[in-house]
């Protein structure tokens, strides 16, 4: 989705047993692009000199190489890219800093009771927004609830800000928003960590640019994509679990909340140009998530992660 940022030809292949793999889409012979569109096939055949690969990426056939020694060797097979499938979305990394599970384990553990397999993507609810601001400013704004009473009057009506909680993990953080009495909420089952709480929303951020917002109606996934130093696209993807609960509580009026956030983020983008501003301190009660994000940015910028 990061068009122009990650310009790497990759393909997804599902074999007869159902295993899904992410492979290089470049032929290991002279570098021809292998697959140009979605198709059903039992093997991958290069259109240039007919090298063939099975759906796990192993080279199986090549004309003209009978006299080649030690052929095929490891470099003749298609490189495989780290890949994971979560909540109906595909995640791949060319140079993973850690296994995908390290990014998502907290979500899985806390929401072990959530019926992920029942989620259905509802394309009619998808939205793409463009903001005239750096992507990290958009993320910063997401990571604190301090502004909710001031920026989001309607959302503030349904959340109990006295019990708004922050939970930091290694590569992400959770904002746990509890509902005011009588408002729309999850009731997590007994045995789960949040049993007894009336949870209006789980606002989960996964470093660096993914937000998983769980509401009683389902999941709103937000993908933050840098377009330029001062331009960002945010894609909202809606996966519905219970359509009867749409339009209620913290998960209602998401477009309105987005517009309110965008105005603040664009204003900050302009404010940061000031010669008189450098950086501000963090609220101990509400901006630990922002601080955590800034620390992760420093960690990754200081020492780019090596391939695992
Ligand atoms: S480039 Fe693919 S077989 Fe030659
Ligand atoms: Fe906000």
Q: Is 108 in the pocket of ligand 1 (CB under 6 A)?
A: no
Collapsing DSSP to helix, strand or coil, 298 comes out as helix
Pick from 54, 5, 18, 64: nearest CA to 34 = 54
Tokens found for residue 259: 């517009």
Q: Is 51 in the pocket of ligand 1 (CB under 6 A)?
A: yes
Contact 214, 108 (CB under 8 A): no
Contact 84, 107 (CB under 8 A): no
Residue 308's pLDDT is what? 46
Residue 279 CA to ligand 1 center (angstroms) comes to 54
Which atom of ligand 1 lies closest to the CA of 49? Answer: 3
- DSSP E strands, the chain: 10-14, 20-24, 44-45, 52-53, 59-61, 80-86, 89-93, 120-121, 127-131, 165-168, 172-178, 199-206, 210-215, 218-228, 231-240
pLDDT score of 306 more than 80:
no
- DSSP E strands, 59-139: 59-61, 80-86, 89-93, 120-121, 127-131
Task: Name the closest-CA residue to atom 4, ligand 1.
Answer: 49
Q: Is 139 in the pocket of ligand 1 (CB under 6 A)?
A: no
* Average pLDDT rounded to a whole number, residues 40-62: 98
Q: Which range is least confidently modeled, 36-50, 194-208, 244-258? A: 244-258
Nearest ligand to the CA of 45 is 1
Task: Name the closest-CA residue to atom 3, ligand 1.
Answer: 49
Residue 93 CA to ligand 2 center (angstroms) comes to 29
What would the pLDDT profile of 2-35 be if each residue is shown by its tens digit?
A: 566 678 999 999 999 999 999 999 999 999 999 9
Q: Which range is least confidently modeled, 24-33, 245-254, 298-307? A: 298-307
pLDDT > 70: what percent of the chain? Answer: 96
Which atom of ligand 1 lies closest to the CA of 50? Answer: 3
| Rounded distance between C-alpha atoms, residue 8 and residue 29, angstroms | 17
What would the pLDDT profile of 129-164 be if each residue is shown by its tens digit?
A: 999 999 999 999 999 999 999 999 999 999 999 999
160: buried, middle or exposed (CB in 10 Å: 19+, 13-18, 0-12)? middle
Displacement of CA 104 from its chain's centroid (Å) = 10
What would the pLDDT profile of 176-226 be if each residue is shown by its tens digit?
A: 999 999 898 998 999 999 999 999 999 999 999 999 999 999 999 999 999
Q: Is 30 in the pocket of ligand 1 (CB under 6 A)?
A: yes
pLDDT score of 269 more than 50:
yes
C-alpha R_g of the chain:
23
Element (H, E) at 288: helix 288-302
pLDDT > 90: what percent of the chain? Answer: 86
Pick from 187, 128, 120: nearest CA to 1 = 128
Which atom of ligand 1 lies closest to the CA of 27? Answer: 2
Residue 24's pLDDT is what? 98
Residue 304's pLDDT is what? 58
Residue 87's pLDDT is what? 83
Q: Which of 11, 26, 28, 30 to mutate to test ligand 1, by most ligand atoms within 8 A of the CB atom?
A: 30
pLDDT band of residue 255 (cuts 50, 70, 90) is confident
Residue 230 CA to ligand 2 center (angstroms) comes to 19
| Rounded distance between C-alpha atoms, residue 128 and residue 134, angstroms | 16
Q: What mean pLDDT value characterizes the chain?
A: 93
Residue 30 CA to ligand 1 center (angstroms) comes to 5
C-alpha torsion sign, points 38, 100, 200, 128: negative
Kind of pairing between the strands at 199-206 and 210-215:
antiparallel
Nearest ligand to the CA of 155 is 2
Residue 253's pLDDT is what? 83
pLDDT band of residue 287 (cuts 50, 70, 90) is very high
Tokens found for residue 302: 């200081």
pLDDT score of 305 more than 70:
no
pLDDT score of 112 more than 80:
yes
Q: Is 64 in the pocket of ligand 1 (CB under 6 A)?
A: no
């Amino acid at each position: 989705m990061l068009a122009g940022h990650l310009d790497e030809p990759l393909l997804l292949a599902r074999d007869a047993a159902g295993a899904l793999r992410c492979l290089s889409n470049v032929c290991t012979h002279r570098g021809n692009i292998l697959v140009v569109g979605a198709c059903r096939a039992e093997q991958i055949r290069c259109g240039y000199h007919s090298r063939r690969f099975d759906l796990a990426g192993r080279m199986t056939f090549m004309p003209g190489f009978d006299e080649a020694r030690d052929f095929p060797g490891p470099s003749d097979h298609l490189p495989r890219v780290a890949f994971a499938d979560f909540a109906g979305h595909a995640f791949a990394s060319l140079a993973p800093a850690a296994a995908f599970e390290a990014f998502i384990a907290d979500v899985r553990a806390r929401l072990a009771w959530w019926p992920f397999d029942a989620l259905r993507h509802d394309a009619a609810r998808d939205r793409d927004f463009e903001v005239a601001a750096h992507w990290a400013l958009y993320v910063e704004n997401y990571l604190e609830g301090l502004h909710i009473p001031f920026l989001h009057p309607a959302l503030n009506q349904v959340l109990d800000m006295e019990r708004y909680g922050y939970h930091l993990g290694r590569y992400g953080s959770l904002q746990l928003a509890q509902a005011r009495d009588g408002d729309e909420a999850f009731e997590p089952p007994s045995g789960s960590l949040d049993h007894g709480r009336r949870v209006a929303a789980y606002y989960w951020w996964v470093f660096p640019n993914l937000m998983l917002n769980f509401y009683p109606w389902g999941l709103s996934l937000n993908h933050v994509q840098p377009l330029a130093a001062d331009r960002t696209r945010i894609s909202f993807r809606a996966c519905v679990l219970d359509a009867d609960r749409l339009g209620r509580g913290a998960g209602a009026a998401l477009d309105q909340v987005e517009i309110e956030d965008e105005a603040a983020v664009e204003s900050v983008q302009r404010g940061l140009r000031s010669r008189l501003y450098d950086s501000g301190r963090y609220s101990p009660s509400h901006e630990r998530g922002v601080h955590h994000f800034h620390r992760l940015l420093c960690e990754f910028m200081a020492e780019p992660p090596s391939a695992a």
